Chain A
Amino acid sequence: MDRIDFVKRIVGLGTGATLIVISVLMLLSGTRIPGAYLDYTISIGGTDKDFQLDLTLFIYFVIMFIGLGAVMVALKPSRLPDSVIVSYPVSRLIAGLLLFAMGVFFLVEYGVEFGGYNDVGNWFFLGGFSMFFPTGAFPLLVGAILLVISAFTYMKLNITRTPDHLVIDEMRFPRSMSVKIPLQDIQAMRLTNGRTGMRFLWVILFIIPVYFLYVDGFSFILNPDLYGMGTCGIFPFMDGAGECVGLAYLLSATVQLACMLLIVINSHYTIEIVTTDKLIEIPYYPINYKSLKRSNLAHVLFDDEGRGLPGEPVASIKQAGDVKRLACGALFVIIGIASRVFYLWAGEMLRFVLLIAGIIIFVDSMKNDLKFVNSRVDVRAIDEGRGYLLSGTGWLFKNDLYFQGVRQLSDCRKEDVVAANMKVQPRKLSIIDHLLVTAILFFIGFQGFPVGLLVPASMAGFMAARVGLVILTCAAIALAIMLNPVHVFKVKLGDCNFQVPVKMAAVQGVSPLVSLFINFFRKYKMAWQTHRVQMLWRMAEMAIAAGVGMLVSAIMLFV
């Protein structure tokens, strides 16, 4: 770090800290900034009332965030790079545009009034908010935020290999970064677009309005006689205000659902580099065909686009399509929807968890478990087996790996490197998997407790329908997700481990279907033999979650 850079950092740090302290002090003092407000009027029941939107709080928060930003920038090195891969989150832009446009449409159509009588309807309380609020306000807000974020997420990424280093230059607003990694320090690299990560939070954010809009929308649309014949508003082919509102609800819900799926399915690429002492992650969204073509480790490491790679091919890993998690996810969603339609099985809290878990598991499975993702992974030995490059040949979702100087691999014969590192084990779970399954079991216990305790004997059928059909089914699915044994090629590097699913060899002398069944149970048996403690812990985790759910429920009921 040169002296100028050091001075810049000190100045940034000082400025940032000062701004944070000032903003906190001003917030605590309660002092208004003169003139920093907007006057507005709300018509309540026909009477206009004047209010002020005081911007002081926002200004203090902006100061605080600027301070935090300054501190963060000061703590990071920066350097302008050249550009090779162009990154822009186009799915976020499209979702933002769709949501924003829909929000504006409903804003214009319904306005923002509340109070008084109108021919369309009100929301939230008697004579309450206009229909813009349930249909357009949330999309408008989220769309605007997405558009603002999209405006600042353009990035250029240049990865250059010198004889001794891998140089990564990243140029993005508001700062650029450059890092130089000694090649000899690199232990592993992964390039994938199959990980959704924190983007799954969008499911939690969207599922609530989408669910409520669909429920109310369908109740309006499917019961036209209930609502009489009012004026029609935006959909002239509809008969009554209820149907028009219903259609608006369904339109809003569908657009929001589509945007949510667009955001979570079209995930970003990530290059992970594991060195002896650092973990480097570079997320990006290739925006054009060239950038997409460059998004593979062969290009990143060897500047190759399919020609003249160093080393030699040593094996080819075949993966069987695994649809178990896909089916589990779909089943959760179906149970969630059916529970509302038939007033059975699940209450609202469990229903939300089932819908959230179902969508997340379905999407994650689609990206990682299906055959078209990793139908074949070519393994290439580099430098006589000191390094290995694993290139996925699947389309849409990609998973490339590179290892260098890893003794677990370099100690093997090149020809045996795959066979020697394959094993059956319970599926590696992310923190999200644990959270989802724990939440499902918790809420099964939570809502199951009063059902078991308070349903009268005359409702035995009710009990059977719930316990037999759903609670046990959901628990069984959750168990399957937790214990699901997989046959993988696995490389472990301290606290990081890398896995590639591998198709298990068919059992000789039997039909493929029988072989499938035999292998299915064999995998459970093998996983149990080698990972018994881990599997027991996972079962215990589920049992504890359900038990805690029941306990909390009992406390709430009796205390």
Chain B
Amino acid sequence: MRIRSRKKIHLHRIGALVAFLIPVATFSTIAGQVVNIFNEIPSFGTDESLKPDPATFIVANYTLLAQMAEFYDSRFENWHIPINYTVTADFTNTNYDVLTTYGYGFSDNGALWTGTSLVGFIGKYLAGVKEGNETLKNDALRVIQRLVDGMAMMLAVPNGGLGPEFGAIVARKWAAPEHKGLFDPNDYDSLFNPNHGKYFNGTWPYSQYRWSDYTSNDEYGGYYMGIAIAFKYLDEADAPDVYAKLKLIIDQLCAGMLRSNFLGIGGFGGPTGVDQKMRMFNGATWALLVLKMGALAYPEKYASVYYNLALENMNAYYGSKEGGIQEIVSNYYAFNFGIDMCFGLLMLEEDPTLLARYIKNFEDSIWYCVRYHRNPYFNAIYLAAKRAVYGSDASESFERDVEDQLMEFYPYHYPDVNAGWKLDSVPSSYHLVDFSKYHDFFENNFIGVLFAPLFEEFDLTGQFYDHPLTVKLKKTSILMWDRNPFEMSQASHGGDGLEEMPGTSFTAPYWIMRGIIGMPNTGVRVNWTG
């Protein structure tokens, strides 16, 4: 029973509101404290003090960079795409011409690295077109053809074929029966291990093939980016077969993802947990990019759906808003595949209003987190997304940053192998970040203890420098740019110098700069004022 005075009914309402607000305000205060700590812990990685001083940059020698790119590309074509997707290679000697037994390193992120490699070679193709260099163009097209074939198989093997009638599962990696000898049978993760719960046989004509499942958004991100950039820039007249295959892949991705409602599906038939729909105004880029590709390749089939998603569903307002500051101390690699996705969308979108929105979202989210990380791949992508033209005042500091880091590859990572003895020592100005007060909070404060699972991915026991390691200070990897530049373990001086990486760490940013931005291929930087 509720009895209220007709004259004082407003007082009753105020009283009810106050009773409601007391616990709400208390809980909000606690939540605010947790959010504050969430942002505070990784804030060392976004500090303005990290902004590099251009005066310290190496003057770019474009002739040297072009020679290095040719060297890496040649190595890549000969040794790193044995079955048309990107792998590492283990050699017996420093001539790097004889592989060890089972010498290929088949990464479980094959789709991601191949997409990144493809972007590099598309940049090379564009450079060939722009510079009127047929040799460069044909060299690029030859590799592009192989990479697109490899990526097509990543779609065909798990789903049973190519085309819109098949599903859109992307394999992390795949192999035909005749490739079995390339895989180390003793390796626990061997693709041909029939007892491994993660690997499956292919479907229908590929039922004797094997593929790696539980495909994460890392793979999808790199895969989508590679297909999107290739489709955008490849002239159909130069490679009609490749172009047709790209269109078929796009059709399959769109149709399959629409059918699964943008959920990732596993070889066991159920959802893997991967979800590419916008959630809480984040993650809008995935579905946008897939359908944007569809709208460009098959406007009659997908343009309407794309506009429904982009405009009516308003995903476009949140496009290229990816990542979060927490990845600086947790899953740094998420920045890499997040930026891959953004790159695809930013390059495909030509509407000036939407592009401006996407760039703003990008700058406010993922770019804010990584802008001072001395990452030439991210910087090159940013310049390309901004439609920067080489030599403009606005982009000069980023161009120099990219050039400085590419120049540091020589001699530290030339060839692209882990030879720790070549690396410089970490300067004494680098200090380790102190997390002790957060340890105390999560162990002794009831709010900290209660909310500790939210911080589970934070590596508070790890050792992080307060400045990012540059190329000459850190070890290489299959793609150096998805590794955390603050992590002490990246400054490893180990390695036997015989495991060769695909060189994409250099070539992807280099060819984006040269093919899309217009970086010169000879001489030295002439407008150097540093």
Q: Which residues of B contact A462 (CB under 8 A)?
A: 303-304, 307
Closest to B318 in A: A556
Distance from B198 Cβ to chain A, minimum over Cβ atoms (Å): 6
Q: B266, A121: Cβ atoms under 8 Å?
A: yes
Q: A242, B304: Cβ atoms under 8 Å?
A: no
Interface of A is mostly: mixed
Distance from A44 Cβ to chain B, minimum over Cβ atoms (Å): 7
Given contacts A30-B447, A453-B353, contact A170 B1 (CB under 8 A): yes
How far, in angstroms, from A219 to B168 measured CA to CA in the complex?
Answer: 14
How far, in angstroms, from A32 to B313 measured CA to CA in the complex?
Answer: 45
A533 at the interface (CB under 8 A from B): no
How far, in angstroms, from A558 to B353 measured CA to CA in the complex?
Answer: 8
Q: A117, B197: Cβ atoms under 8 Å?
A: yes
Distance from B340 Cβ to chain A, minimum over Cβ atoms (Å): 16
Q: A278, B6: Cβ atoms under 8 Å?
A: yes
Given contacts A123-B273, A227-B269, A454-B311, contact A494 B6 (CB under 8 A): yes
How far, in angstroms, from A241 to B270 measured CA to CA in the complex?
Answer: 5
For B241-278 the 0/1 string (1 means CB < 8 A from A) is 00000000000000010011101111111111111000
A52 at the interface (CB under 8 A from B): yes
List B residues at the A interface (Cβ < 8 Å): 1-7, 9, 19, 22-23, 26, 30, 167, 197-198, 203, 214, 216-217, 256, 259-261, 263-275, 299, 303-305, 307-314, 316-317, 351, 353-354, 357, 444-447, 449-450, 452-453, 456
How far, in angstroms, from A356 to B239 measured CA to CA in the complex?
Answer: 52
A68 at the interface (CB under 8 A from B): yes
Q: Which of A30, A241, A278 contacts B4 (CB 8 A)?
A: A278
How far, in angstroms, from A346 to B275 measured CA to CA in the complex?
Answer: 21
Q: Which of A118, A126, A220 contacts B264 (CB 8 A)?
A: A126
Q: B214, A126: Cβ atoms under 8 Å?
A: yes
Given contacts A230-B270, A277-B7, contact A466 B265 (CB under 8 A): no
Q: B270, A227: Cβ atoms under 8 Å?
A: yes
- List CB contacts (< 8 Å) of A172-219 with chain B: 177, 179, 215-216, 219
- Could you say which of A57-65, A326-334, A500-508, A519-527 contacts chain B? A57-65
How far, in angstroms, from A51 to B442 measured CA to CA in the complex?
Answer: 11
Q: Taking A121-B266, A121-B272, A216-B271 as given, write out 18 further A-B residue pairs in contact, using a Cβ cutoff of 8 Å, ordered by the A residue number.
A: A37-B449, A117-B198, A121-B268, A127-B214, A128-B273, A179-B1, A223-B259, A226-B167, A226-B260, A230-B267, A230-B270, A241-B269, A279-B6, A280-B3, A348-B313, A454-B351, A455-B311, A557-B317
Closest to B213 in A: A117
A440 at the interface (CB under 8 A from B): no
For A15-33 the 0/1 string (1 means CB < 8 A from B) is 0000010001001001111
Q: State how many residues of chain A have any CB contact under 8 Å with chain B.
A: 90
Distance from B80 Cβ to chain A, minimum over Cβ atoms (Å): 26
Q: B304, A225: Cβ atoms under 8 Å?
A: no
How far, in angstroms, from A334 to B386 measured CA to CA in the complex?
Answer: 43
A-B contact pairs, 30 of them (CB 8 A): A30-B446, A32-B444, A32-B449, A51-B453, A57-B447, A64-B26, A121-B272, A121-B273, A122-B271, A125-B273, A125-B274, A126-B264, A126-B272, A127-B214, A127-B272, A170-B1, A179-B1, A216-B271, A219-B263, A228-B203, A228-B269, A230-B266, A242-B271, A277-B5, A277-B6, A281-B2, A343-B308, A446-B314, A451-B307, A462-B303
Q: B261, A347: Cβ atoms under 8 Å?
A: no
Q: Which residues of B contact A30 (CB under 8 A)?
A: 445-447
Q: Which residues of A contact B271 (CB under 8 A)?
A: 121-123, 216, 220, 242, 245
A231 at the interface (CB under 8 A from B): yes
Closest to B3 in A: A280
Distance from A59 Cβ to chain B, minimum over Cβ atoms (Å): 9
User: Among B4, B308, B312, which residue has the most Cβ atoms of chain A within 10 A?
Assistant: B312
